[in-house]
Copies of this chain bind each other. A is one copy, B any other.
Amino acid sequence: MRHRSTSSALVRAAGIVATAWLACGPCVAFAAALPSPETVAEQLRDAAMAGHDIAYPWVSELTTRFGPRPAGSANEQQAAEWAAARLKALGFENVHIERFPITAWMRGNESAQLIAPNAQPLVVAALGESPPTPPAGLEGDVVVFPTFMDLKSAPPGSLTGRIAMVSQRMVRAQDGAGYGAAVAARTDGPQEAAQRGAIAFLLRSVGTDSHRIAHTGTTRYLDGRVPVPSFALSAPDADQIERIAALGQTVRVRLFSSASYVPDAHSQNVIAEVRGRQRPQEVVLLGAHLDSWDQGTGAIDDGTGTAIITAAAKLIRDLPHRPQRTVRVVLFGSEEVAQPAAPGSTFGGHAYADSHRAELVNHVLAGESDFGTDRVYEVSLPKAVAQSEFAKQLMRVLTPIGVLAAERLTENVGADVGPSVAAGVPGFALNQDGMGYFDIHHTPDDTLDKVDRTQLDQNVAAWAALVWLAADSDVDFRSHAAPAAAPQP
């Protein structure tokens, strides 16, 4: 039912574009000629902003039907099969699933309590990849470090038999810069604590909210494993431990986790295309990830990303004519548990870059949507074209929907397309407002009710316009001497 209504709405969305063409004043005498790429980009933008029923129904069905989709789980695999079937039904070409092996990490039961100076429950979440406690749990006195630097300054052996806690606060910042500053304590805290003798590691959640909800996230292996059981505390729980310690009392905690590993699991990338009409071997790559953390339903991380790029590509697919180049949608698997900088196919981004390495030279541009559902406020293009006619044309289309040209460029555009970009593919970023993202990120609270449909549509508008302009051009995003996008004959 939903498939059918979506399809008919897409026909309507395409109809908006076709009707606009027939009505466009200056070109009415040349009705047989194609409108300019910029005109089509404006029409795509306006059709997306006017509301369409691709993106929201996608994220609603994905999160409702499959709930959490941790890497390697049955839910992730079923979601990938559903996504492939939906992409086919939406009219994409070359739809297929590419599997790759992973070791899956599975949360078990977990709990934490203050046991001295009195009994109080604590809200925690085991950090991704971290090992279980002994079956009876473990207990220890807590040593609180206000910053990660303080932990790294602690002498060897100074934490023997104790539990290290880093209570560093994450800074709220529009571009998400606070995350980078805080997350090292999560990725590297367990090994820094273990190297000083700690029996477990506690971390104030890397997040900006103040709810009794803990933010999980992956941690880095040392010698092939995370060395000690490691947990995120909710912000109010971290506050409480800090306050008790400030009263001069010893804080003693009991921790339990039955997390486990599944070594022979697999994950998968889902691929779909709108084939280019002139140079189909040239690919504009759009990425987002289908897997999610296991406590929420992965609505903003990254259900909306998969919805945004799928909807943008579908609006392009439904135009009366194809772009010159191929638009390729990749819904990556196993993004969340990727070992930072690990070699080989440990996650979807690496698996894609490895198995498509020969094609990467023809990947003309790559971008990724993985920052929730808030509005795009800024676009970052490859340096080669940042001052080009292409950029000016793009800004004429995006400025009316509230998008700035980024002053600080980056081609570090995300974890999924990162390995492809590292192999030389130029990267772009449609930067989203991140003021609220880290209230929800990696928590049980990542659910559909957090998705704002108006802002979701603005994302689709920006993506559809940019991807269309790049795909229907011969701009070389690698070269400094990029020609302006030529109007269609």
Given A119-B75, A211-B211, A64-B244 contact (CB < 8 Å): yes
Cβ-based interface call for A448 (8 A) = yes
- The reply to whether A65 and B118 contact each other, CB–CB distance below 8 Å, is yes
- The reply to whether B212 and A247 contact each other, CB–CB distance below 8 Å, is no
Cβ-based interface call for A221 (8 A) = no
Q: Which residues of B contact A294 (CB under 8 A)?
A: 121
Q: Which residues of B contact A211 (CB under 8 A)?
A: 211, 213, 445
- The reply to whether B236 and A119 contact each other, CB–CB distance below 8 Å, is no
Cβ-based interface call for A260 (8 A) = no
Complex-state Cα separation, A174 to B274, whole angstroms: 52
Nearest CB of chain B from residue A217's CB, rounded to whole Å: 17
Given A239-B448, A448-B236, A68-B212 contact (CB < 8 Å): no
Q: Which residues of B contact A297 (CB under 8 A)?
A: 120, 240
Nearest CB of chain B from residue A124's CB, rounded to whole Å: 12
Cβ-based interface call for A243 (8 A) = yes
Provide the A109-122 mask, 1 if CB < 8 A to any CB of B, else 0: 00000100111110
Which among B117, B243, B449 is the interface contact of A235 at CB below 8 angstroms?
A: B449
Which among B123, B212, B243, B444 is the interface contact of A60 at CB below 8 angstroms?
A: B243
Cβ-based interface call for A326 (8 A) = no
- The reply to whether A212 and B296 contact each other, CB–CB distance below 8 Å, is yes
Cβ-based interface call for A179 (8 A) = no
The A325-378 residues at the B interface (CB cut-off 8 A) are none
Q: Which residues of B contact A212 (CB under 8 A)?
A: 213, 295-296, 443-445, 447
Nearest CB of chain B from residue A106's CB, rounded to whole Å: 12
Q: Which residues of B contact A60 (CB under 8 A)?
A: 243
CB-CB nearest in chain B for A67: B120
Complex-state Cα separation, A212 to B211, whole angstroms: 10
Cβ-based interface call for A66 (8 A) = yes
Nearest CB of chain B from residue A445's CB, rounded to whole Å: 5
- The reply to whether B240 and A447 contact each other, CB–CB distance below 8 Å, is yes
Cβ-based interface call for A78 (8 A) = yes
Q: Which residues of B contact A120 (CB under 8 A)?
A: 67-68, 75, 297
The A71-119 residues at the B interface (CB cut-off 8 A) are 74-75, 78, 114, 117-119
Provide the A277-301 mask, 1 if CB < 8 A to any CB of B, else 0: 0000000000000000011110000
| A residues adjacent to B (C-beta < 8 A) | 60, 64-68, 74-75, 78, 114, 117-121, 123, 210-213, 235-236, 239-240, 243-244, 247, 294-297, 443-445, 447-450
A-B complex: 4 closest residue pairs judged by Cβ atoms: A67-B120, A212-B444, A236-B447, A64-B243
